[in-house]
Amino acid sequence: MVLKNVITLQPWQANDFKTYQQLLADESLAHGLGVLSGNLKHHFTNECQQVAFNQIKLNQTCVGTLTVYQIDEQTLDLAYGLIQPYQHQGIMGQALTQQLEQLPHGKIVQAEILVENHASQALVEKLNFKQVTVMKNFLNQQIAIYQKKI
């Protein structure tokens, strides 16, 4: 009998902070999300108030995080990441597909991706996002902005 990997999204709850803290101990994940370690508790509390703030679970084990922010009335912004051992396995593609299916239609969804993160750029392109610009973010990181109308 072959067991199938099951990818699920589960909302983060206030009592999940320790799990979030352990997840963000992965420096590449924290860097990609633009999360500074000194304000992690405040960041977590703020994320809990967003449109969606989900754990990405693989067979009930938290391996990543996915947040949806409301930018304006028509625009939503995605922020997502996986810890290193689970990258490049198709997990994020499944998680993003699930999240996009749950969002209201008629919105523009965007993703801000570090320019050096070619795998993430390829992923959103596979999901029919189009690059609209390249710019520096508030942390002075060079990012590519991708958008898709859902």
Question: What is the rounded distance in angstroms from the CA atom of residue 125 to the CA atom of residue 4?
Answer: 26
Least confident of 31-35, 45-49, 109-113: 31-35
- pLDDT score of 37 more than 70: no
What domains appear along the chain, each with residue ranges and CATH number? 7-105 (3.40.630.30)
User: 35 vs 18, which has greater pLDDT?
Assistant: 18
DSSP conformational letter for 36: -
Q: What is the mean pLDDT of residues 59-80?
A: 96
- The pLDDT score that the predictor gives to residue 3 is 57
Q: Which amino acid appears at position 127 of this protein?
A: L
Question: What is the rounded distance in angstroms from the CA atom of residue 117 to the CA atom of residue 38?
Answer: 24
- The pLDDT score that the predictor gives to residue 134 is 97
Q: What is the mean pLDDT of residues 35-57?
A: 90
H or E, element range at 100: helix 91-102
Mean pLDDT of the chain: 93
Question: What is the rounded distance in angstroms from the CA atom of residue 15 to the CA atom of residue 17?
Answer: 6
Query: Quick one: how far is CA 43 from the chain centroid?
Result: 14
